Amino acid sequence: MEIREFQKFIESRYGERDRERGTPATYMWFIEEVGELATALHGTNFADKEEEFADVLAWLCTLANINGVDLEKAVSKYTERDIKGFK
């Protein structure tokens, strides 16, 4: 599945409720999932890591959807531009 397809799936399944919740509350859910991912990364259970990565990606798509951002287009800065250096 392409990034855009997954983002559209999240929109079709959860979009109305996500827009009602709004960006501030959605961001808090996203951060909670990032925290759960951090915890999973310190553990040894691979299934937990997979689940938390999926949750973070889904909530990132939700944030993008309610803010009108096409993630596939946004990440093109890494695939189509000549990015120099690193952080």
pLDDT in tens, 25-77: 999 999 999 999 999 999 999 999 999 999 999 999 999 999 999 999 999 88
Burial of 17 (0-12, 13-18, 19+ CB in 10 A): exposed
The pTM (predicted TM-score) of the whole model is 0.89
**What tokens does 64 get?**
């993008």
What is the pLDDT at residue 83? 67
In a domain, 8, yes or no: no
Domain extent, residue 32, equals 23-78
Provide the CATH number for the domain around residue 66.
Answer: 1.10.287.1080
pLDDT above 80 for 82: no
Asked if the structure places residue 7 within a domain, the reply is: no
Q: Does residue 6 sit within a domain?
A: no
